[in-house]
């Protein structure tokens, strides 16, 4: 693969180009989370603001445009399932944000086609695109947008689970491909998240991401039960039938039972177009689903053909993006909650205010740093908006309305659930409760403790953990290893299933107690900043968990990749009275606290760090990690400037791109073997 080199030769004093290249990296990162992982990190409005700045710079400096720019890319590479070639590109729309831009578009179309030009203004559904292909009226294929140009993912089986997807047309034609937006109503979204909460699973950020994740499910039963919906907004290609206008196509589809966009207005002038956009904007809160704008497009299909497309957008349509609705309200209080991960989150409690048609009275304040940036205090008049029309957020403070007795808000130093002192994440802004017995964090700590990277107790799922904690059988992680003494009660209550399943799980717990190495025991304790890699390094350095507990702050700081905050967190953990009692119990129960010296094959990789990505040929990731460690190397979980090598297999993801950006050498598993066995760098 060719190495990306567009960052080379960058003048150190060229701040604007620095800004441009940083925008490219950030926007690509956010786009990957949005399209490939269905995990948005910022709101649409924040993304659009950054994207507009990028376009402005590219307009002023067209020679700076790099191949990786979001202005060049249409969608995102399809990464899952069976890939399908697009017959017709599934392009995106040119976004506009002002009334002036809308008028400019309409007038340019009227100048091209005269006053007879007709426009359609429709709701822009906040979902994900899907094309449906029919042959002789029968649904043959459903495909996602993917990269928008070349290929998408085959989702036919899941599409058939959507009630709005017509399987057989009433008026069949030889071939027709239609394109629509898969979405989830707010009610369906609430039901999915409520169920996830009950089962202790991760909830979705918003309906769009829930819909995207659902459409890509391997199990079609999950797709069916989550209740996806679909609106069709375009006819992509036909054989055996023609239409003169977009609305004619809609009439044909409606006769065949196809659900098309329900809010569609035909307009002739710029004023009419803007009135329709305003009308749709005013109804946002009344709709049962989310929209992220209004689409303006030509109705006449021959006019569309004449204009054609750019590499990314059709020239005959635009998407107007509504600005977030912002309201003033008064901050009444800040509620501090401890989540299942131990993270302590402040939540603003304010006088109820209507946003996008719903009354809201709460919004997350993230952390103390965010509160400090806002300059927030109880009684302040705050500015509240809805991010992506869904999640309420605090935007700022109206300092002119500040009360006379105002003072800045400070979060408490102790956990609101158990009163334990909070610890700040290494290199982060969040505070966590590290009390192993805190009721607010117990379930999640146990899930981590029994996971594959820690004690690896097979079959010990979240539901069992939840039942056992609710029934009082587990109050801390040491209680896991005393469940064998409650065997009869567990079987009688069927808390772990029938007798056979109960004995199987108790045997797995007993095996884990005796065979799990000390570094995995340490990783399972849930100490902030101490994951799998750090736990290995600590055990390698000190030799035992007891020695780590006796180490001073300076000795901990001397360990590779341990910073001030992590050292403080580790030291405080082992000097907490409750944790000291817990450690004594775990040791008395026979868990491994000391390093067992495995066979060392050599030191040819000593001092080198390796990040692994993709599927390695002929070797699992854990086997590769053991190989690296047996020759003195160190596996790491992420790519940074300090990473020695990226060990890459097939289907590599974003780590490859980051390695190339940072100039980190990329090697194969064969390269690694040669380095280990010969002791020579490649």
Average pLDDT over residues 656-664: 86
Go through the domains of the chain in sequence order and give each one's CATH number.
1-73 (1.10.287.610), 83-320 (3.30.470.30), 326-401 (2.40.50.140), 430-588 (1.10.150.20), 609-678 (3.40.50.10190)
124 is catalytic: yes
pTM of the model: 0.53
Structure tokens at 379: 């009684």
Nearest to 336 by CA among 371, 383, 387, 298: 371
Q: How far apart are CA 666 and CA 663, in angstroms?
A: 9
Closest alpha carbon to 587 in 492, 540, 521 = 521
| pLDDT tens figures, 515-533 | 999 999 999 998 877 888 8
Instruction: Tell me the per-residue pLDDT of 439-473, one tens digit each, with 9 for 90 and over.
Output: 777 888 888 899 888 999 988 988 888 889 888 89
Position with higher pLDDT, 42 vs 263: 263
Structure tokens at 150: 């070349």
Give the model's pLDDT for residue 35. Answer: 54
Residue 676 Cα to chain centre, angstroms = 36
Tokens for 394, please give them: 């605090």
Give the position of tokens 């005796």. Answer: 514
Active-site annotation holder among 59, 124, 587, 641: 124
Calculate mean pLDDT across residues 13-38: 70
Report pLDDT digits (tens) over 122-163.
999 999 999 999 999 999 999 999 888 888 999 999 999 999
**pLDDT band with cut points at 50, 70 and 90 for residue 5:** very low
Higher local confidence (pLDDT), 307 or 220: 307
Average per-residue pLDDT in the chain? 86
Residues 540, 562: Cα–Cα separation, whole Å:
14
Instruction: Answer whether 273's CB lies under 8 Å from 267's CB.
Output: yes
Q: Are 321 and 95 in contact (CB under 8 A)?
A: yes
Q: pLDDT (tens digit, 9 = 90+) per residue, 71-126?
A: 765 554 444 557 899 999 999 999 999 999 999 999 999 999 999 999 999 999 99
The C-alpha atoms of residue 468 and residue 481 are separated, in whole angstroms, by: 13
Sheet holding 175-183, edge to edge: 138-144, 128-135, 175-183, 229-239
Please tell me the predicted confidence (pLDDT) of residue 227: 92
SS (H, E, C) 152-218: EEECHHHHCCCCCCCCECCCCCCEEEEEEEEECCHHHHHHHHHHHHHCCCCCCCCHHHHHHHHHCCC
Name the 3-class secondary structure at 444: helix
Indicate whether 173 pLDDT > 70.
yes
pLDDT in tens, 35-80: 554 455 566 666 777 878 888 888 788 778 776 777 765 554 444 5
Of 14-23, 332-341, 392-401, the range with the highest mean pLDDT is 392-401
What local confidence, expressed as pLDDT, does residue 680 receive?
44
pLDDT at 7 over 70: no
pLDDT attached to residue 620: 80
Residue keyed to tokens 């809201």: 360
**What's the rounded Cα separation, in Å, for the pair 139 and 156?**
9
Residue 529 φ/ψ region, left for φ over 0, alpha for ψ in the -120 to 50 degree band, beta for the rest: left
Give the best-scoring range by mean pLDDT among 347-356, 374-383, 446-455. Answer: 374-383
- Choose the most confident range, by mean pLDDT, from 152-156, 316-320, 663-667: 316-320
- pLDDT over threshold 70, residue 276: yes
- The whole-number pLDDT of residue 81 equals 58
Lowest mean pLDDT among 63-67, 174-178, 391-395, 456-460: 63-67
Contact status, residue 379 vs residue 350, Cβ threshold 8 Å: no
pLDDT for res 595: 82
The per-residue pLDDT for 8 is 37
Range of lowest pLDDT (213-217, 378-382, 402-406): 213-217
User: 156: closest CA among 223, 246, 73?
Assistant: 223
Q: Which of 87-96, 192-201, 432-441 has the highest mean pLDDT?
A: 87-96
Q: How many Cβ atoms sit within 10 Å of the Cβ of residue 246?
A: 22
Q: Which of 128-137, 398-407, 609-618, 647-656 has the lowest mean pLDDT?
A: 647-656
Q: In what order do the strands lie in the sheet with 666-667?
A: 634-636, 609-613, 645-648, 666-667
260: DSSP letter: B
Lowest mean pLDDT among 134-143, 192-201, 437-446, 668-677: 192-201
Average pLDDT (599-618) is 80
- Is-contact 11 17, C-beta < 8 A? yes
DSSP-derived secondary structure letter, 594: B
Contacts 24+ apart (CB under 8 A), 18-25: 19/53, 19/57, 20/54, 20/57, 20/58, 20/61, 20/64, 21/66, 23/50, 23/53, 23/54, 23/57, 24/54, 24/66, 24/68, 24/69, 24/70, 25/661
Asked whether residue 410 carries a pLDDT value surpassing 80, the answer given is: yes
Region of residue 293 (left: phi > 0; alpha: psi -120 to 50; beta: else): left
């Amino acid at each position: 693969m060719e190495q990306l080199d567009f960052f080379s030769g960058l003048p150190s004093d060229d701040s604007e180009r620095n800004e441009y290249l940083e925008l490219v990296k950030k926007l690509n990162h956010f786009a990957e989370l949005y399209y490939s992982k269905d995990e948005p990190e910022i709101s649409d409005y924040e993304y659009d603001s950054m994207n507009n700045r990028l376009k402005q710079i590219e307009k002023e400096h067209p020679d700076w445009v790099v191949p990786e720019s979001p202005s060049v890319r249409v969608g995102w590479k399809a990464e899952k399932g069976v890939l399908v070639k697009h017959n017709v590109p599934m392009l995106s729309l040119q976004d506009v944000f002002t009334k002036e831009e809308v008028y400019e578009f309409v007038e340019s179309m009227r100048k091209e086609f005269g006053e007879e030009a007709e426009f359609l203004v429709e709701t822009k559904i906040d979902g994900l695109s899907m094309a449906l292909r029919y042959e002789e009226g029968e649904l043959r294929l459903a495909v996602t947008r993917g990269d928008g140009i070349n290929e998408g993912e085959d989702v036919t089986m899941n599409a058939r689970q959507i009630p709005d997807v017509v399987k057989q047309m009433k008026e069949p034609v030889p071939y027709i491909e239609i394109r629509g937006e898969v979405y989830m109503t707010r009610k369906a979204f609430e039901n999915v998240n409520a169920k996830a909460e009950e089962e202790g699973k991760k909830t979705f950020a918003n309906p769009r991401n829930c819909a995207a994740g659902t459409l890509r499910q391997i199990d079609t039963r999950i797709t069916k039960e989550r209740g996806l919906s679909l609106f069709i907004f375009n006819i992509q290609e036909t054989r055996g039938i023609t239409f003169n206008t977009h609305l004619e196509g809609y009439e044909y589809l409606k006769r065949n039972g196809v659900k098309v966009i329900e809010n569609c207005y035909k307009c002739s002038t710029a004023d009419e177009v803007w009135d329709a956009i305003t009308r749709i904007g005013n109804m946002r809160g009344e709709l049962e689903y989310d929209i992220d704008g209004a689409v303006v497009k030509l109705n006449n299909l021959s006019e569309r053909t004449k204009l054609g497309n750019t590499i990314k957008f059709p020239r005959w349509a635009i998407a107007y993006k509504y600005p977030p609705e912002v309201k003033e309200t008064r901050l009444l209080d800040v509620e501090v909650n401890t989540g299942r991960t131990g993270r302590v989150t402040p939540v603003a409690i304010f006088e109820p205010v209507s946003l996008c048609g719903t009354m809201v009275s709460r919004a997350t304040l993230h952390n103390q740093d965010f509160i400090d940036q806002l300059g927030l205090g109880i009684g302040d008049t705050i500015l509240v908006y809805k991010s992506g029309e869904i999640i309420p957020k605090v935007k700022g403070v109206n300092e002119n309305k500040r009360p006379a007795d105002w003072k800045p808000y400070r979060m408490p130093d102790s956990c609101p659930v158990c009163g334990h002192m909070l610890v700040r994440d290494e290199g982060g802004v969040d505070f966590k409760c590290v009390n192993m017995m805190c009721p607010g964090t117990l379930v999640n700590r146990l899930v981590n403790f029994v996971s594959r990277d820690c004690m690896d107790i097979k079959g010990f799922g979240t539901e069992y953990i939840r039942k056992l904690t609710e029934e009082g059988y587990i109050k801390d992680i040491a209680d896991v290893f005393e469940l064998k003494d409650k065997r009869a009660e567990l079987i009688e209550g069927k808390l772990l299933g029938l007798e056979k399943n109960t004995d199987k799980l108790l045997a797995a717990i007993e095996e884990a107690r005796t065979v799990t190495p000390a570094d995995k025991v340490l990783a399972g304790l849930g100490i902030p900043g101490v994951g799998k890699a750090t736990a290995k390094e600590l055990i390698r350095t000190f030799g035992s968990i007891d020695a780590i507990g006796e180490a001073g702050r300076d000795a901990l700081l001397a360990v590779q990749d341990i910073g001030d905050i992590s050292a403080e967190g580790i030291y405080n953990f082992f000097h907490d009275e409750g944790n000291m009692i817990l450690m004594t119990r775990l040791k008395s129960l026979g868990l491994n606290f000391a390093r067992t010296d495995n066979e060392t094959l050599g030191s040819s990789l000593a001092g080198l760090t390796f990040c692994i990505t993709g599927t390695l040929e002929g070797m699992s990731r854990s086997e590769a990690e053991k190989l690296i460690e047996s020759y003195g190397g160190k596996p790491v979980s992420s790519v940074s400037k300090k990473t020695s090598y990226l060990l890459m297999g097939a289907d590599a993801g974003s780590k490859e791109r980051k390695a190339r950006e940072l100039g980190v050498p990329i090697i194969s598993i064969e390269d690694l073997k040669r380095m280990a066995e010969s002791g020579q760098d490649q």
